[in-house]
A = this chain, B = another copy of it.
Amino acid sequence: MSTATVSRVLSDPDKVRQKTHDLVMEAVRRSGYIPNSTAQKLRTRRTMNVLVIAPRLTNPVFAEILRGVDDELTQSGYGIIIGNLDNRREREARYVDLALSRQVDGILLLTGYIPENGARSMRDSGLPIVAMCAAIHEDGIPNIVVQDREAARQAVEYLARLGHRKFGYISGTLGSIIEVERFAGFQEGIAAAGFSQDDVVRWEGPFVFSTGVSAAEAFLQMKDRPTGIFAACDESAIGFIKRVRAERIRVPQDVSVIGFDGIEYADYTEPTLTTFRQPLHELGCVGADVLLKLIHNAMKPEDWSIRLPVTLLERETTGPVLHKDYKSLRRSAV
Quick one: which of B91, B103, B124, B270 contacts A242, CB cutoff 8 A? B270
Given A38-B47, A67-B57, A103-B38, A80:B79 Cβ within 8 A: no
Query: Which of A265-282 touch B at CB < 8 Å?
Result: 265, 267-270
The A interface, classified by DSSP as helix, strand, loop or mixed, is: helix
Q: Which of A19-27, A93-101, A146-154 lines the interface with chain B?
A: A93-101
A36 touching B102, Cβ below 8 Å: yes
B57 touching A63, Cβ below 8 Å: yes
> How many identical chains are in the complex?
2
Chain A: residues with Cβ within 8 Å of the partner, total of 48
A32 touching B120, Cβ below 8 Å: yes
Q: Which of A81-89, A287-295, A304-312 lines the interface with chain B?
A: A81-89
A58 touching B47, Cβ below 8 Å: no
Minimal Cβ-Cβ distance residue in B for A264: B209
Complex CA–CA separation, A34 to B93 (angstroms): 14
Question: A7: shortest Cβ distance to chain B, in Å?
Answer: 14
Please, which residues of chain B bring their CB within 8 A of the CB of A101? 34-37
Query: Which of A42-88 touch B at CB < 8 Å?
Result: 42, 47, 49, 57-58, 60, 63-64, 66-67, 70-71, 74, 79-82, 84, 86
- B-binding residues in A (CB < 8 A): 32, 34-39, 41-42, 47, 49, 57-58, 60, 63-64, 66-67, 70-71, 74, 79-82, 84, 86, 91, 94, 97-98, 100-103, 120, 124, 209, 238-239, 242, 245, 264-265, 267-270
